[in-house]
């Protein structure tokens, strides 16, 4: 099955810093989503981005489907950005999301 790898596994930053999270996937995909899981377990949709670039406030994402990777950029980090960031892909024909292992982001004040 498809392999989804995220890096780095852990990231600790000071408030105000910028960061780049990476997601590599091993096969062609229909769908790629980025989520933020808050401390209570809620998965919050950040981006649905099978290809191209999107921006939402301080966050932006780019997926290069032909090279099988996606990047999530967080600028001017705030403590509320802390949590686990997952990318998840839907391999073509698979009907399901396969998640990476996540990046645990800690933003210190």
Partner 1 sequence: DTEVTQTPKHLVMGMTNKKSLKCEQHMGHRAMYWYKQKAKKPPELMFVYSYEKLSINESVPSRFSPECPNSSLLNLHLHALQPEDSALYLCASSHRDGYEQYFGPGTRLTVT
Contact residues for partner 1 (CB under 8 A)? 30-31, 33, 35, 40-43, 45, 48, 86, 88, 90, 95-102
- C-alpha to C-alpha distance for 40 and 43, rounded to whole angstroms: 9
To partner 1, the closest distance from the beta carbon of 44 in angstroms equals 8
To partner 1, the closest distance from the beta carbon of 17 in angstroms equals 24
Nearest to 32 by CA among 108, 98, 103: 98
Of residues 17 and 97, the one with the C-beta less far from partner 1: 97
Q: For 61, what's the count of Cα atoms within 13 Å in the CB-facing half-sphere?
A: 23
């Amino acid at each position: 099955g498809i392999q989804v790898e995220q890096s780095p596994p852990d990231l600790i930053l000071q408030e105000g810093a910028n960061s780049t999270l990476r997601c590599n996937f091993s096969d062609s995909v229909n769908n790629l989503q980025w989520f933020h899981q808050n401390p209570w377990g809620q998965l919050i949709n950040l981006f649905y981005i099978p290809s191209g670039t999107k921006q939402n406030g301080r966050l932006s994402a780019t997926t290069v489907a032909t090279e099988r990777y996606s990047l999530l950029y967080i600028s001017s980090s705030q403590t509320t950005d802390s949590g686990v960031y997952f990318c998840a892909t839907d391999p073509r024909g698979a009907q399901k999301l396969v998640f990476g292992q996540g990046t645990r982001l800690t933003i210190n004040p």
